[in-house]
Amino acid sequence: MTSLQSRHIDNVYSITTGAALADPAASLVHKSWARCVRDHGLDPSRPSPARILPAQEVRAHQQQLEHFLRAARSGMEDIYRRVADLGYMVLLTDAEGITVDYIGNPAWDDQLRKAGLYLGADWNEAHAGTCGVGTCLIERQPMTCHQTEHFDATHIALTCTTAPLFDHSGKLTAILDVSALRSPEARESQHLVRHLVAIYARMIEDADFLRSFRGHWILRLGSAFGLVDVAGEVMLAFDEGGTVVGANGGARQAFAGRALGGAISEWLHMPMDAIWRIGNGGASAMPFAHTVLLPGGGEYHASLLAPRVRRPSVATPAAPAARPNDRLPPLERIAGDDPQMQKLLAQARRLVDRGIHVLVEGETGSGKEVLARALHGASGRAAMPFVAVNCAAIPDSLIESELFGYTPGSFTGGRAKGMKGLIAQADRGTLFLDEIGDMPMALQTRLLRVLSEGEVLPLGAESPQRVDIAVVAATHRHLPGLVASGRFREDLYYRLCGAVLKLPPLRERGDMRYLIEGMFNEEAAAMSSPVRLSEEAMQKLLAHDWPGNLRELRNVLRLALALCSDGRVGVEDIQLQLPARSGHVTPANVARVAASSADDPDGIAATELVELLRRHRWHVARAADELGLSRATVYRHMKRHGIAPPRSRPLADD
């Protein structure tokens, strides 16, 4: 034993037997010395060597922390790179004080092992006495145990700086330790290491938090604007319904005493709509746009991280963009803070994945298909097909084969190989039956069978095929009226309307600014033009007395983008009162039709319509968009003129 060690033992004796320990203001170290003698029965005169667990036991401890270890390892490697040259090594223990990972200079392996700065070393205070790890486990705060602050004389050459690591539920999970075999005598020499350890401890916790909630939305709040995306100190994870499911250490501190589970809007005293808007570009994209005041005081910059576990993309082609912000969840993105829409969306969220068929009602162009796609996108079926069928579109003679498909040779004029019907194509996904009121009676009976039995029988087939579909039907007609007049089967009506979602017309919506901003951004992005909508133009759009149709709004914005110059849409570019449509539309004459709300098919000649449809490769919705008409109107017009697509190019409804 060295003379230094003997002096240390005397000192520990004098402190642990003296009155100093009764002092409530005794230092962490002296309190720990007292625990070592009183509670752990350790004797300072009998130093005990480092205890290293056998590999098998270490493995068992590591397994308990498997996911956490991965995040911690990156942090440990990074911190080691910074301190290795100064003679430090890095160690991680679990909540029992067992070393489950370590990085040190291999050249000092023997010495490190002897000192216990090694994999498997037990640093619990009950065994090792006062030390960085063991005492930190009890005190649950960052600390340095420098040289003779250690209880056991074996360790008095070491300096150990530690910080506790808590998992996302606030449970103490591990201790991060940066230690050195030798160091300057002055305790202040560890000041910088202490800062580093605290910073890395937080980074590891945050990495674990982000990993644990990678399937959720995460709101990050930070005091440093510009760093909030990467280093926001307060993080709240929440689900698509806005319920808080996780809070990191910073958030647990900022919202002390608040239990998980409430609505994030209540946590922040902010409407949900405003929280979703934070996703609209993040703090770095919108300087000073998003600041949040926390209940306990303090103004924070905010950014919103979208879930990183993404579902595979939908198998069908995307709808004409209808997403004000594609970082938002599918249902949230379709409306701003309009009370009617928020109520509808709350209802819609409850319907998702419940096996309930949904009927969407709403005027032409009120966004029925957009809502149907959002229901699909928010569901567990999102990775499977969304098949849209416009029942008014398909000639009566074709609708049966289109919907149910047919076997080879069963259908005169059919394809030699037969055809998979649209219902079968929607298997495991969503079938959107638009204009359901126009479905012929005979087919209503067959559809009813599909819905009640979950089977589809293609034309000419002998045995039915099982299908698992969610059905969203839509209509702008009054179905109960059709039922009353005998034109729609009552049983099918009840089967389809497991729930009814009624979309308000545009004129009743209170979230016009949100819709305009969203649509404008989509249209500008589609033109790849970095154009800005001036506030005067916005005011003109807001003041306009819109009828029921979102399609008209889109056309006005599209026209404004075509007309504007200097990267700015001004008030003069907003053309609201325009002559009635005639003929097809080109960018040059789009003004003539942009704001037409007269869904009157009589103005289009058959040849013009065919030309327009060809130009759009038989995408009826796109042709309808260009004309500023509803798809139903275009379909009816096609029917009236007997226009059908070439067989090689089936009708596309999106």
Ligand X SMILES: Nc1ncnc2c1ncn2[C@@H]1O[C@H](COP(=O)(O)OP(=O)(O)OP(=O)(O)O)[C@@H](O)[C@H]1O
- Secondary structure in 3-state letters for 277-288: HHCCCHHHHCCC
Task: Quote helix, strand, coil % in the chain, to nearest 5.
Answer: 45, 15, 40
Q: How far is the CB of 324 from ligand X (least distance, A)?
A: 6
Beta-ladder partners of 359: 473, 500
Q: How far is the CB of 370 from ligand X (least distance, A)?
A: 4
Q: How far is the CB of 546 from ligand X (least distance, A)?
A: 12
Report how far apart, in Å, the C-alpha atoms of 154 and of each of 44, 300, 518 are.
Answer: 10, 48, 67
Q: Where are the alpha helices (DSSP H) in 178-224?
A: 191-212
Q: How far is the CB of 594 from ligand X (least distance, A)?
A: 13
Per the CB < 8 A criterion, the answer to whether 179 and 134 are in contact is no
**Cβ proximity to ligand X, 65 vs 399, nearer residue:** 399
Residue of 130, 119, 186 whose CA lies nearest to 162: 130
The reply to whether 324 sits near ligand X by the rule CB under 6 A is: yes
The region, left, alpha or beta by phi > 0 then psi within -120 to 50, assigned to residue 543 is alpha
The amino acid present at 579, given as its one-letter code, is P
Q: How far is CA 313 from the centre of its chain?
A: 14
With CB under 6 A as the rule, give the number of residues binding ligand X: 24
| Distance of alpha carbon 99 from alpha carbon 131, whole angstroms | 13
State both tokens at 596. Answer: 């037409």
**Cβ proximity to ligand X, 392 vs 564, nearer residue:** 392
The reply to whether 388 sits near ligand X by the rule CB under 6 A is: no
The reply to whether 651 sits near ligand X by the rule CB under 6 A is: no
State both tokens at 186. Answer: 């002055």
Q: How far is the CB of 607 from ligand X (least distance, A)?
A: 23
**Cβ proximity to ligand X, 554 vs 592, nearer residue:** 554
By rule CB under 6 A, what string of x and - marks binding of each residue 416-445 to ligand X? ------------------x-----------
Stretch that binds ligand X, among 1-9, 273-281, 351-359, 365-373 (CB under 6 A): 365-373
**Cβ proximity to ligand X, 181 vs 501, nearer residue:** 501
By rule CB under 6 A, what string of x and - marks binding of each residue 344-363 to ligand X? ------------------x-
The reply to whether 65 sits near ligand X by the rule CB under 6 A is: no
Q: Where are the alpha helices (DSSP H) in 405-511?
A: 422-425, 441-453, 479-484, 490-496
By rule CB under 6 A, what string of x and - marks binding of each residue 606-645 to ligand X? -------------------x----xxx-------------
| Distance of alpha carbon 346 from alpha carbon 545, whole angstroms | 27
The reply to whether 365 sits near ligand X by the rule CB under 6 A is: yes
The reply to whether 475 sits near ligand X by the rule CB under 6 A is: no
**Cβ proximity to ligand X, 208 vs 363, nearer residue:** 363
Q: How far is the CB of 492 from ligand X (least distance, A)?
A: 20
Q: How far is the CB of 608 from ligand X (least distance, A)?
A: 20
Residues numbered 502 to 561 that lie near ligand X (CB under 6 A) are 515, 518-519, 550-551, 554
User: What is the Cβ-side half-sphere exposure of residue 624, based on CA atoms within 13 angstroms?
Assistant: 29
Q: Cβ contacts of residue 486 below 8 Å, gap of 6+?
A: none
Q: How far is the CB of 610 from ligand X (least distance, A)?
A: 20
Q: Where are the alpha helices (DSSP H) in 478-619?
A: 479-484, 490-496, 512-526, 535-543, 550-563, 590-593, 606-615
The reply to whether 320 sits near ligand X by the rule CB under 6 A is: yes
**Cβ proximity to ligand X, 100 vs 550, nearer residue:** 550
Q: How far is the CB of 280 from ligand X (least distance, A)?
A: 14
Per the CB < 8 A criterion, the answer to whether 463 and 322 are in contact is no
State both tokens at 550. Answer: 């979102």
**Cβ proximity to ligand X, 31 vs 558, nearer residue:** 558
Q: How far is the CB of 362 from ligand X (least distance, A)?
A: 5
State both tokens at 52. Answer: 């290293």
Q: How far is the CB of 654 from ligand X (least distance, A)?
A: 9
- Residue whose Cβ sits closest to ligand X: 367
State both tokens at 95. Answer: 């909540």
Q: How far is CA 478 from the centre of its chain?
A: 37
Among 101, 177, 206, 369, binds ligand X (CB under 6 A): 369
Among 32, 99, 147, 364, binds ligand X (CB under 6 A): 364
Task: Determine phi and psi for 72, rounding to 5 degrees.
Answer: -65, -35
Per CB under 6 A, residues contacting ligand X are: 320, 322, 324, 334, 362, 364-370, 434, 476, 515, 518-519, 550-551, 554, 625, 630-632
